[in-house]
Amino acid sequence: MKIVFSDKKTGRTAQAELSQDIAATLYGKKVGDTLEGEVIGLSGYRLQITGGSDNSGFPMYKYVQGYVKTGVLGESKKKGSKTIRRKTVVGGMIGVTTAQVNTAVVEYGSKPAEEVFPIKEKKKSEESK
């Protein structure tokens, strides 16, 4: 399972791959719940679960209970007209089929944000011959 955490202050994001043992501790948590940053090595940090997706790529939807994959009706607006369409989503609870969990930092720890969210240098493209 992959966990993506973002910092709203700086707009930076980072991600980490979780082992099966650590991922199992997240099972049963719902979108909107908070978790301790020690899970991914961020001591003192608190993270809020904001969403995620399953192994098929369907997004988690907060208002669907459990882990089920289902269709919900949603509105989409195009040039002033509203259309209702069915969209496949999964429940808002983390389970075995969850592939990615998105989180946001709620409380900051002792480790500075610059270490947690390093700035990556852009790769220079090779000069054409």
| Exposure class string for 23-48: b at 16+ Cβ within 10 A, else e | beebeebebeeebebebbebeebbbb
Four-point Cα dihedral 60, 64, 65, 66, nearest 10? -30
Quick: pLDDT tens for 38-78.
Answer: 877 788 889 999 999 999 999 999 999 988 899 998 887 77
Per-residue pLDDT at 129 exceeds 50 = no
